[in-house]
Structure 1
Amino acid sequence: MTIKPLSKEFYSFMIFFLSISCIMSVIQSTALVIIGSQMMGLQSFDTWMWLVLFVIAVTDGTLIRYLWHNDYRLAAVACLMSTSAVLTQHVLILNRELRVFYQEHYHVVASVLFATAVLCGLSLVFTKAGKKRWLRLGGTITVLVTLLLAITFVLYFQTGEGGTKLLIDKTSRWISLFGILPVVCFVIHFRLENKRLAVTDNAPAQTAPALIKLAAFLGLLFLGFNFSVEALRYSRPFKPSAADLRRSKAMEDYHFVDKSGDSLPYRLLNPLDYDSTQQYPLIVCLHHGGAHGKDNMQQLSADPAPFLMELPTRTKYPAFVFMPQCPKGLGFSGAYGNASVDSLVFRTMRELLGRLPIDRKRIYVLGISGGGYGSWHFASVHPELFAAAIPICGGGDPQYGPKLVNVPIWAFHGARDKMAPVSHSRDMIAAIRKAGGKPKYTEYEFAGHGIWDKVGNEDIMEWMFAQHKE
């Protein structure tokens, strides 16, 4: 039975969207290489991801139609499974409520993505579709790239050493760049198919495909430009402002280096009118994700640091303020198996406790966003150390609830937070209360992720300084 060929307009449509996919892959992979997972914090990320979702749906849908039409049924079904997994992942990331499920079941989602991608690639190699040279090559590259990414994924979560995790993460980012090669193979395939197709009529182009192509082009032009510019701006070296330089003069610049050679940059603010014969509280201030680096400067302008450095705060609440800076690619909490700098922070704290007149009954931790997750984590793994914790738009492991029963906690979160799901704070508070604890919790009903201005107006310092170990 002779299969009627698809129209030249179909091939033109397919080539156009595969080309758009190539460009988008280059943009996103480049952003991933230069800033990593931090790209999820870009303001343009959500709109960019909706465009990616749209292009994937159209491109893969058209490819599946081609495979089915040409009786490559097994390949069509396998590609449909892979596409469904990819689209599901994007929806989980973009939906605020579903993002919690995605974070908690990331390993399962990733496993499904890897398995379906390998299955799709194999179907283009070992079924009838493999008779087409460029489809077969595209399938082969898909399998190889996916297997390499799967290996780095497993290695990343199996190793506990931060430096090794960073190396594996960087390797994974570079491997992802090769994900564009299968798309290039498909472009070549469809161009050759289009050339073989004789022109049978001069029917005018249909309106719907033309409008879809126009929407994709305009989306790439504007949203792709915004996403690229923001990613490049984020990747530029930090340039301290006059306020940053002024703050830095008030604080000592330190680098803690342990026996293995790992180092942690940090700043230390002495109490106002410091008297070495007196003991003072220690405030551990953990910055958000936007201040990661090794310049030992950015954390000074990241909330809540400026608030703690203000003269009225220092006058009324004299204390040592310890501000570690988390290197890029690491976190304070190690949430969801990610690389963490927590052990290095604790070793630095031990060194501070050994040389400074710190009141060990009044050690406090507070932080926002990534620092909020860190605050939950620090208090959870060392509840005996902290007299109080103020985690802001963060989260932790509810299994630690019983250990936090006797740690005074005042947590904050915005109900409409798209970056850190509010359920993360709710779950921690619920776990502590279930275990018999009485943590304080303030949730701002109409607020999102940026809630520091609201938190700063609360009596957090008065409450915190009233807490002390027995």
Structure 2
Amino acid sequence: MSGNLSRYATVSLTLVVAVGLFQSLLHFQLGNGFYTLPSIGAWIFLIRLISLTASLYLMLYFRQRHYQLVFLTGILSTVATFGGFIFLWIRFLNPEVASYSSGIFLLIIATNIVYAGSLILSPSSRHLWFKVGGFLTLGLGLMQMIVTVGYMDIQLISSPSALTTIGPWITLVTSVVPIPFILHFLQETLPRSVNEKGTNSFSFADALMGLEIILFLLILVSGVKLASESYNQLHVTSKALLLALPFKSGSYINSRGDTLLYRLMEPLGYDPNKTYPLVVCLPYSCRQDNVGQVEACPPAQWLSREQNRTKYPTFVFVPRCPPGTGWGGVSQTGSVDTLTIEAILALDKYYTIDPQRRYVTGVSRGGYGSWHFISTRPDLFAAAIPVCGAGNPVYAPLVTGVAVWAFHGAKDRNVPVEGSRAMITAIRAAGGHPRYTEFSGGGHYIWADVANTPGVLEWLFAQKKHQKKLNQ
């Protein structure tokens, strides 16, 4: 094996640490919002390849040093980890396999713990930094085990928000695990007798470094893009400011001190002697500020167009969900649904809102929330337009009195179309008459198709509570 192997391993592992710390920084700033960035898929793919090359360098070293147990368990851990990444990709393409996730992740974690044990207990532990690396790997595995089991049985952890808090810390620990291995390679020079063996390993290691250089250049480009997207999440852009201009900034604080920030657009020519409908528009992403949620809510933007404001005078309420939360209906995710309902009702104290004409709509996370709101408070809403969302069919009998027009893309890979189909089928079986439009060639981003569907707003504003719904 070439004496370059130690240097190659050092460079590769250092890149893993640098990339991990960069990701950890963004994860702490954005919370789970980090995983909603547009370029996150390419980023995760690249870091998995970089981690794979670093692991291969370690396995080459263990094999040449005849640390057979560490080599075998390391290979097992590497294969399982990379296999887990492949599974995540398959799950993205075929969401129906998601039920196997927890079991597969536990299997991967178990292989990592076995690998950690071999570093601690095998002859390789004579090297201090390998033993330290083993304990770090073991600690990481136990953290991952707790979180995975916590998702399987939420009672083991106090709340879903606690799981969200743990996530960035796991990212940080993962990023520092290679440091002891780097320190080992920095202080070691391979004996000449070892260097002269295994010429096949030379060429493989050199080729691996060539791949590493390519990955380094790609990760630089991806990192710059990811940092730019993160900046836009954390800072108010000129576009977001422009879209939020028609909306006043507001906040609601309940008796417990819980605060909900929101934007509210009043009807054009608002007359307090008249009553107006209220459209609750639920954004698809969480924001740090009280401006950007309008940018994350296509229905609110649609209703704020001059022609729509003129034709349909209405209040438009756009609440903000803090990072790591949502509007309800999404398992293992914190929710501000109760606080939002309280804020909606509190508006009646200050504005003349028609209680028979409250509506709710949203896309993606907001689509989930739309189904959830009418399922838990069907008395409050006259109609809903859930887009690319999903609900719980158990609540279908409660929703039959609410007018529903749902939209979904048949090829949606983010939120499977079965979520809307199941709700529509269940409501119809319970005696309701919801409308449902499915775009056969549409994916997750179908809002333009929804906005171009004739009669959507006319249908929405024709709905009232305590009358026969105009669904037919």
TM category (shorter chain) comes to 0.7 to 0.9
1:18 paired to 2:17? no
Q: CA deviation at 1:324?
A: 0.8
The residue number in structure 2 matching 1:286 is 282
> What TM-score does the superposition give when structure 1 sets the normalisation length?
0.84
Cα deviation 1:244-268 (Å, max 9, x = unaligned): 35753x4332110112211111122
1:274 paired to 2:270? yes
Q: CA deviation at 1:175?
A: 4.7
Q: CA deviation at 1:463?
A: 1.9
1:323 corresponds to which letter in structure 2? V
Q: Distance in 1 between matches of 2:271 and 2:75?
A: 70
Residues 46, 94 of structure 1: 8 Å contact kept? no
The residue number in structure 1 matching 2:391 is 396
Deviates more, 1:113-122 or 1:41-50: 113-122
1:329 paired to 2:324? yes
Aligned counterpart for 1:358 among listed residues 350, 353, 357: 353
1:181 paired to 2:176? yes
Paired residues in the alignment total 460
Q: CA deviation at 1:104?
A: 5.4
Q: CA deviation at 1:205?
A: 8.5
Q: Distance in 2 between matches of 1:69 and 1:436?
A: 71
1:379 paired to 2:374? yes
Q: CA deviation at 1:227?
A: 2.8
Q: Distance in 1 between matches of 2:200 and 2:115?
A: 35
1:34 paired to 2:37? no
Q: CA deviation at 1:409?
A: 2.2
The residue number in structure 2 matching 1:297 is 291
Q: Distance in 1 between matches of 2:220 and 2:115?
A: 28
The residue number in structure 2 matching 1:147 is 142
Superposition map of 1:55-454 within 5 A? 55-64=50-59, 66-67=61-62, 72-95=67-90, 97-98=92-93, 100-101=95-96, 107-148=102-143, 150-151=145-146, 157-158=154-155, 166=161, 169-191=164-186, 194-198=189-193, 199-200=195-196, 209-235=205-231, 237-241=234-238, 244-245=241-242, 247-248=244-245, 250-289=246-285, 292-293=287-288, 295-302=289-296, 303-333=298-328, 335-433=330-428, 435=430, 437-454=432-449
The residue number in structure 2 matching 1:3 is none
Q: Distance in 2 between matches of 1:127 and 1:159?
A: 33
Cα deviation 1:104-153 (Å, max 9, x = unaligned): 56554554444443333223212344333222110101222333455567
The residue number in structure 1 matching 2:469 is none
Residues 5, 61 of structure 2: 8 Å contact kept? no
Change (3 A) 1:238 1:17: closer
Q: Distance in 1 between matches of 2:421 and 2:93?
A: 16
The residue number in structure 2 matching 1:462 is 458
Change (3 A) 1:328 1:440: same
2:235 corresponds to which letter in structure 1? F
Cα deviation 1:419-469 (Å, max 9, x = unaligned): 434443344444445555443332333333332222111132122223332
1:227 corresponds to which letter in structure 2? G
Give the SS at the match of 1:469. coil
Change (3 A) 1:142 1:307: same
Change (3 A) 1:207 1:428: farther
Change (3 A) 1:23 1:415: farther
Give the SS at the match of 1:178. helix
Change (3 A) 1:160 1:76: closer
Deviates more, 1:362-371 or 1:325-334: 325-334
Q: Distance in 2 between matches of 1:439 and 1:69?
A: 67
Q: CA deviation at 1:190?
A: 4.2
Residues 92, 99 of structure 1: 8 Å contact kept? no
Change (3 A) 1:403 1:17: farther
Change (3 A) 1:421 1:36: farther
Residues 96, 418 of structure 1: 8 Å contact kept? no
Change (3 A) 1:175 1:267: same
Deviates more, 1:260-269 or 1:119-128: 119-128
Q: CA deviation at 1:71?
A: 5.4
Deviates more, 1:100-109 or 1:357-366: 100-109
Q: Distance in 2 between matches of 1:116 and 1:401?
A: 43
Deviates more, 1:14-23 or 1:319-328: 14-23
Identity %: 33
Residues 93, 99 of structure 1: 8 Å contact kept? no
Q: CA deviation at 1:306?
A: 1.5
Q: Which runs of 5+ in 2 are unaligned?
A: 467-472
The residue number in structure 2 matching 1:49 is 44
Give the SS at the match of 2:331. helix
Q: CA deviation at 1:77?
A: 4.7
Q: Which runs of 5+ in 1 are unaligned?
A: 1-5
Change (3 A) 1:320 1:93: same
Q: CA RMSD in A?
A: 3.4
Cα deviation 1:207-232 (Å, max 9, x = unaligned): 55434322332222233332344335
Q: Distance in 2 between matches of 1:203 and 1:150?
A: 40
Q: CA deviation at 1:22?
A: 2.3
